[in-house]
Amino acid sequence: MKKSIFAALTLTTTLWTPVVFASAGGSCHFHGNKPAAEATVSGCAAQRKDALVKSGKLDASWSAVKQDKIESVDGKKGKEWKVTFKDPAAKDKTKETLYMFFTPVGNFIASNFTGQ
């Protein structure tokens, strides 16, 4: 009987642990083939930008920068979402525009300052 209870508790703990420790950005991971709405990708881009600022990969000044535009482009593996953020106050003009790329269903691919 003790072994059955222990096994049940272990199984329950194992199944619920990922849910409890899911990150705030976990809502921007999608499965399936249904294309994401523009608003969904826009929200995920803002979350990703905030995460990059928090991790120190982007300067803190980027936290106040709003999205400039979002468009569907032809990427290396087909259609992609391209989200653009512009910081006109950037000291380094080569880093004035941040580009983020997402799959058609809304999963993050990459970000850079070149747009490629």
pLDDT of residue 10: 59
26 lies in some domain = no
Domain that holds residue 92: 35-112
Dihedral angle over CA of 2, 3, 7, 9, nearest 10: 10
59 lies in some domain = yes
85 lies in some domain = yes
45 lies in some domain = yes
17 lies in some domain = no
Q: Please report the DSSP string for 27-67 in residue order.
A: GG---SSPPPPHHHHHHHHHHHHHHHHHTTSS-GGGGGPPE
Measured distance CA(109)–CA(4) in Å, rounded: 44
| Confidence band for 7, pLDDT divided at 50, 70 and 90 | low
pLDDT of residue 90: 86
Measured distance CA(31)–CA(113) in Å, rounded: 28
60 lies in some domain = yes
| Confidence band for 11, pLDDT divided at 50, 70 and 90 | low
**Total domain count for the chain?**
1
